[in-house]
């Protein structure tokens, strides 16, 4: 299968790395279209042999075209590539917010798969939510699902609106987790640890509880209650978070991301 990734930035590189490391396709059958030449070195390091700076006839040869540009860049890109693409090609879009209908309208093709991955795709530990247009055959869908599997876990949804919801939860989610970790680390520093010490305490606490939780029969609240013994230190912290409506605030933040995904699709 010939694969072309358009946009060799953060996500384009993550996908390229996963595809190459998992022998998804031969490097000869793999190309990246990237207009920013300062990214070429990084792309070559990953092992990409064919890098194009502007659309060429070669685009026509790809069986699968992965759209990994920013949503704001899509309309411009569509005019550039429209004459080089054909209806037999399958498009996998990882752009936030841009609907299948918009992609069909701008590119004039109807085999579209929309996926929302996250940054951990780079190490094969990502989480993707994906859906597809009716024109995508079962075989094409399974093929793309296999590709997504090389980047981590994935969840198929029939309702396209859940792609924007997934964008808000797991797509942007890694940044929320890091935001919380950073705050915990900063508190550790204020309490007397050096930065490396506070980083170690924070990192291992996250890693440990994620693995522990995975093997625990409890849900989030049950486990919180187990850790927060009555009258203890954890209870004091959790009570403060609850009193300050932190849970609601985090949920509102996730909704902001969802609304932004909807806005990004309006052009
Ligand atoms: N970052 C994440 O964690 C994440 C997670 C899930 C989904 N996504 C989605 O993935 C997409 C890419 O995000 P990103 O963070 O990888 O962005 P990025 O680092 O900016 O990468 C996009 C690349 O595409 C290039 N580009 C733009 N227009 C082009 C064109 N017409 N032809 C060829 N190359 C072009 C850009 O070049 P210039 O810089 O010169 O414009 C840039 O190098 C977005 O749609 C985003 O919603 C990102």
Q: Tens place of pLDDT for every residue, the chain, 267 residues?
A: 999 999 999 999 999 998 888 888 889 999 999 999 999 999 999 999 999 999 988 889 999 999 999 999 999 999 999 999 999 999 999 999 999 999 999 999 999 999 999 999 989 999 999 999 999 999 999 999 999 999 999 999 999 999 999 999 999 999 999 999 999 999 999 999 999 999 999 999 999 999 999 999 999 999 999 999 999 999 999 999 999 999 999 999 999 999 999 999 888
Residue 141 inside a domain? The answer is: yes
Distance CA 102, CA 163 (A): 14
Same domain, 8 and 121: yes
Tell me, yes or no, whether 95 and 223 share the same domain: no
Q: Do residues 150 and 181 both lie within one domain?
A: no
Is any ligand 1 atom within 6 A of the Cβ of residue 52?
Answer: no
CA angle 63, 264, 15 (to 5 degrees): 35
Same domain, 71 and 104: yes
CB 100 within 8 A of CB 74: no
Q: 207 and 144 share a domain?
A: no
Q: Note whether residue 168 is domain-resident.
A: no
d(CA 215, CA 213): 5
Q: How far apart are CA 73 and CA 63, in angstroms?
A: 22
Looking at the fold, whether 152 and 177 belong to one and the same domain comes out as no
Same domain, 151 and 30: yes
CATH number of the domain encompassing residue 242: 1.10.3730.10
213-to-31, 147, 234 alpha-carbon distances in Å: 40, 28, 17
Q: Which of 70, 262, 267 is nearest to 162 (CA)?
A: 262
Instruction: Extract the tokens encoding 135.
Output: 């024109």
Q: What's the pTM?
A: 0.93
In this structure, are 88 and 213 located in the same domain?
A: no
Indicate whether 38 belongs to any domain.
Answer: yes
Contacts 24+ apart (CB under 8 A), 133-140: 133/100, 133/104, 134/110, 135/110, 135/111, 136/90, 136/111, 136/112, 140/90, 140/111, 140/113
**Measured from the CA of 53, which atom of ligand 1 is nearest?**
33
Q: Which helix (H) or strand (E) holds 51?
A: strand 50-52
Spatial contact of 94 and 116, defined as CB atoms under 8 Å apart: yes
Q: Does one domain contain both 41 and 91?
A: yes
Please name the residue whose Cα sits nearest to atom 26 of ligand 1.
7
Q: Is residue 164 part of a domain?
A: no
Overall number of domains in the chain: 2
Distance between CA atoms of 258 and 267, rounded to whole angstroms? 17
Neighbours of 255 (CB within 10 A): 12
Whichever domain contains 41, its CATH number is 3.40.50.720
pLDDT digits (tens, 9 = 90+) for 104-158: 999 999 999 999 999 999 899 999 999 999 999 999 999 999 999 999 999 999 9
By most ligand atoms within 8 Å of CB, the mutation choice from 68, 85, 179 for ligand 1 is 68
Flag whether 167 is in a domain.
no
Q: Considering the domain boundaries, does residue 226 fall inside one?
A: yes
Q: Which of 153, 131, 151, 117 is nearest to 19 (CA)?
A: 151
Residues 97 and 197 in one domain: no
Answer yes or no: is 67 within a domain. yes
Q: Are residues 245 and 143 in the same domain?
A: no
Q: Is 35 in the pocket of ligand 1 (CB under 6 A)?
A: yes
Verify that 223 and 139 share a domain, yes or no: no
Which range of residues forms the domain containing residue 91? 3-159
Q: Give the strand pairing for 152-156 and 126-132.
A: parallel
């Amino acid at each position: 299968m010939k694969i072309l990734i358009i946009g060799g930035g953060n996500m384009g590189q993550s996908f390229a790395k996963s595809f190459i490391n998992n022998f998804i396709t031969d490097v000869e059958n793999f190309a990246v279209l990237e207009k920013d030449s300062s990214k070429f070195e990084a792309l070559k390091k990953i092992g990409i042999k064919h890098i194009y700076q502007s659309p060429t006839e070669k685009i026509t040869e790809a069986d699968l075209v992965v759209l990994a540009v920013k949503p704001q860049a899509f309309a411009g890109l569509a005019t550039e590539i429209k004459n080089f693409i054909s209806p037999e090609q399958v498009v996998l879009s990882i752009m936030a917010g841009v609907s299948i209908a918009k992609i069909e309208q701008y590119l004039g093709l109807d085999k579209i798969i929309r996926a929302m991955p996250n940054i951990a795709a780079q190490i094969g530990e990502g989480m993707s939510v994906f859906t597809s247009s009716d024109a995508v055959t079962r075989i094409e869908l399974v093929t793309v699902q296999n590709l997504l599997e090389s980047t981590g876990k994935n969840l198929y949804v029939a309702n396209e609106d859940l792609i924007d919801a997934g964008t808000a939860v797991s797509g942007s989610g890694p940044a929320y987790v890091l935001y919380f970790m950073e705050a915990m680390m900063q508190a550790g520093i204020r309490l007397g640890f050096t930065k490396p010490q506070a980083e170690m305490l924070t990192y291992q606490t996250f890693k440990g509880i994620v693995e522990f939780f995975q093997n625990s029969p409890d849900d989030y609240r049950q486990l919180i209650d187990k850790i927060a013994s009555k009258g203890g230190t954890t209870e004091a912290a959790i009570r403060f978070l609850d009193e300050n409506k932190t849970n609601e605030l985090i949920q509102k933040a996730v909704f902001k991301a969802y609304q932004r995904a909807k806005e990004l699709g309006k052009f």
